[in-house]
Amino acid sequence: MTTERASGRGRLDRPPTLEDVAAGAGVSRALVSIVMRDVPGASDATRERVRAVAERLGYRPDSRARLLAGRRTRLLGVTLALNNPFHADVAEGIYAAAEPLGYEVVLSAVADARPPARAIDTLLSYRCEAAILVGALVPRKSLGALAERLPVVVVGQPAPHPAVDAVRSYDERGIRFAVDHLVALGHRRIVHVDGGRAPAAALRRNGYRRAMKAHGLAGEQRLIAAGEREEDGAEAARRLIEEGMPDALITYNDRSAVGVLDVFARSGVDVPRDVSVVGYDDSQVARLPYLRLTTVSQDTGRLADLAVQRAVARLEDQVVAEREVILEPHLVVRGTTGPVAMR
């Protein structure tokens, strides 16, 4: 053990390997491997001795070699957008669900400068056994190609391809609850500020149309094309102020709702007196004291659990009944919705 740490390239003394531990303990590499993996095949006395040497040398198994040599990697790949709180919640759930099943998680971020294809490439290059895509927009065709290689579970949107699993909540119903709530409050002219091409946006749009029809409000339907960011909501709000205000509006997600509320606040539009607003996701934002956004909630913990279960079931050849699991969302009524005002 040289203490050759001084200058130059530094730390050139490569990390200790199984070989080093084996030599130190006077046993074979294979035995050390057995001890480190905690599998049967070594006496308690030896285990203890080997562990002590490993500890002393600061030995840490090399994932690269381990993954390469093993017959399986037991790696679950997850793509997510770091700036999205919904994704973050799901990812944490995935960690928690994967560990007890003996799987490890590899995260790969999607960002402006890092398209989904890039993130997925990384997962494949690590030979993940399954991929869990959290709310990523992947072209149908590439999804099909991906599913050809490994089990794919999409979270938060319907499976865009018959070969992939999907774990999501029932978006049509979520929107339906929102419309029901607004109608019960006496609103009729209910607008949907949609999510454009964002994940599940089409479903929510559709849910809106169906719900309006069901309430005999087909004639009152009004869609504003928007998107998933605050700015999209803000622009929609400006248009509404200019072109005529509805009784209420439902946005694609909470972020969009925040943009809407911002513009309304600055323009002297009182929520909920002048107009009611409903968001979607029940993200942290929705709970903020000054916002108190009425919104549709989906259970991220359960979504994560189910996604992991799915992926593992596929890998372990268990029978998986349907391609989709759809959870029931629920409405959380807070302060941005109220009864229709006298006018």
Partner DNA sequence: GGCAGGAACTAGAGCGCTCTAGTCACTTGC
Partner DNA sequence: GCAAGTGACTAGAGCGCTCTAGTTCCTGCC
Please report, as ranges, the residues that interact with DNA according to CB under 7 A: 14-15, 17-19, 27-31, 33-34, 36-37, 40-46, 59, 61-62, 65-66, 68-72
Q: Are 224 and 195 in contact (CB under 8 A)?
A: no
Smallest gap from residue 265 Cβ to a second copy (A)? 5
Greatest alpha-carbon pair distance for the chain in Å reads 89
Looking at beta carbons only, is 52 or 288 nearer to a second copy? 288
Which of 37, 197, 266, 273 binds a second copy (CB under 8 A)? It is 266
Binding-site partner at residue 89 among a second copy, DNA, none, CB < 5 to 8 Å by type: a second copy
Which of 38, 243, 317, 322 binds a second copy (CB under 8 A)? It is 317
Question: What sign has the CA pseudo-torsion 255, 259, 264, 265?
Answer: positive
- Listed in sequence order, the residues at least 6 apart from 265 whose beta carbon sits closer than 8 Å to its beta carbon are 271
Q: Are 255 and 282 in contact (CB under 8 A)?
A: no
DSSP H or E run through 330: strand 330-332
Which of 50, 248, 261, 331 binds a second copy (CB under 8 A)? It is 261
Apex CA 196: angle with CA 194 and CA 198, to 5°?
105
Q: Does 9 bind a second copy (CB under 8 A)?
A: yes
Query: How far is 280 from 204, CA to CA, in rounded Å?
Result: 10
Binding-site partner at residue 139 among DNA, a second copy, none, CB < 5 to 8 Å by type: none
Smallest gap from residue 167 Cβ to a second copy (A)? 19
DSSP H or E run through 120: helix 116-125
Q: Does 237 bind a second copy (CB under 8 A)?
A: no
How long a stretch of residues is the chain? 343
Query: How far is 31 from 37, CA to CA, in rounded Å?
Result: 10
Smallest gap from residue 210 Cβ to a second copy (A)? 31
Q: Which of residues 65-104 bind a second copy (CB under 8 A)?
A: 65-68, 73, 82-83, 85, 88-89, 91-92, 95-96, 99
Q: Which amino acid would we find at residue 296?
A: V
Query: Which DSSP symbol is given to 5?
Result: -
**Per-residue contact track with a second copy, 269 to 308, x per CB under 8 A?**
---------------xx--xxxx-----------------
Binding-site partner at residue 184 among DNA, a second copy, none, CB < 5 to 8 Å by type: none
Question: What sign has the CA pseudo-torsion 39, 44, 48, 54?
Answer: negative
- Listed in sequence order, the residues at least 6 apart from 4 whose beta carbon sits closer than 8 Å to its beta carbon are 12, 13
Sites of contact with a second copy (CB under 8 A): 5, 8-11, 15, 58, 60-68, 73, 82-83, 85, 88-89, 91-92, 95-96, 99, 107-109, 111, 113-114, 121-122, 124-127, 145, 148-150, 258, 261-262, 265-266, 284-285, 288-291, 314, 317
